Amino acid sequence: FVEQQLRSRAFLLFYLLCGVAGALGYATLVSASNAYQDGGVVGASAGIFGILVVAAMIAPDMRVQLLFPPVTLTMRLLAILVLAYGVFVVLVGGDNAGGEAGHLGGALAGFLLWKIPVLRGLLGRLGRSGQGGPKKGPAFQIRIAKRGKVYQKKLRPQSTITGLESSEVDRILDKINEHGLQSLTGEERELLARAGKK
């Protein structure tokens, strides 16, 4: 759902910038600690950490089911735990301190690219340059006239599925998984159909 907030090209650019920031985080730790880290840097996981941080900012209360250990966490708690682990490994100088520094660099880049309006706007403009991918839905323009100047703001429509309905959709999907599609009531089918259109 982070990609839905950006267009596809902007999302790809965001991911790559987080990867570059991860490489910088790795290089900073290696040079600051005067330690030689045997091996290279790929940066894919740094991009994922950037996406994780933004996902936690967009939907902090969204529930996430982990495969191992099989627990359910909120997106915010998952991000906090993963980042806290990374900070801990970097501080104690664990075996993968360089990798964790890369993860933290990607997470920091994701946070800054999303939180700072100028960077977020620049990312959006760069992502739209040239032949951009398909739009993720109609954008609405609001024109506000103020002292002879006209300000424009593009807004994307918010999903009509509320947090409560989202948890209800999760419950319905669990029910389908356990008892099959035939176990759904008409009301559950209707809610699932509405959620599928978003």
Domain span at 10: 2-128
My answer on whether 185 and 104 are in the same domain is no
Confidence class of residue 106 from pLDDT cuts 50, 70 and 90?
Answer: very high
Structural domain total, the chain: 2
Question: Same structural domain for residues 121 and 167?
Answer: no
**102, 128, 154 — which closes off a domain?**
128
136 is a domain residue: no
Report phi then psi at 58, rounded to 5.
-75, -45
Q: Predicted confidence band at 132 (pLDDT cuts at 50, 70, 90)?
A: very low
Q: Say how far apart CA 51 and CA 106 lie, in whole Å.
A: 9
Write out pLDDT tens, residues 26-81: 988 888 886 655 666 777 899 999 999 999 999 999 999 999 889 999 999 999 99
**How high is the pLDDT of residue 29?**
85
In whole numbers, what is the pLDDT of the chain averaged over residues? 80
pLDDT digits (tens, 9 = 90+) for 144-176: 445 555 555 555 555 555 656 777 887 887 787
Residue 142, domain member (yes or no): no
User: Is the distance from CB of 124 to CB of 117 less than 8 angstroms?
Assistant: no
Whether residue 133 is contained in a domain is answered as no
Q: Does a structural domain hold residue 90?
A: yes
Question: Of 104, 128, 152, which marks where a domain is finished?
Answer: 128
Residues 183 and 116 both lie in one domain: no
Percent of the chain topping pLDDT 70: 75
Q: With respect to residue 154, please indicate whether it lies within any of the assigned structural domains.
A: no
Q: Are residues 118 and 187 in the same domain?
A: no
Q: Which residue from 114, 90, 117 is spatially nearest to 101, judged by alpha carbons?
A: 90
141 CB-near residues (< 8 Å, 6+ apart): 152, 153, 154, 155
Does the pLDDT of residue 12 top 80, yes or no?
yes
Where would I find the beta strands (DSSP E) of 66-146? 72-74, 140-146
Of 112, 128, 144, which closes a domain?
Answer: 128
Confidence of residue 136 (pLDDT cuts 50, 70, 90): very low
Residue 139: band (very low, low, confident or very high) from pLDDT cuts 50, 70, 90:
very low
- Cα four-point dihedral sign 10, 11, 12, 15: positive
- Tell me: do 112 and 188 sit in the same domain: no
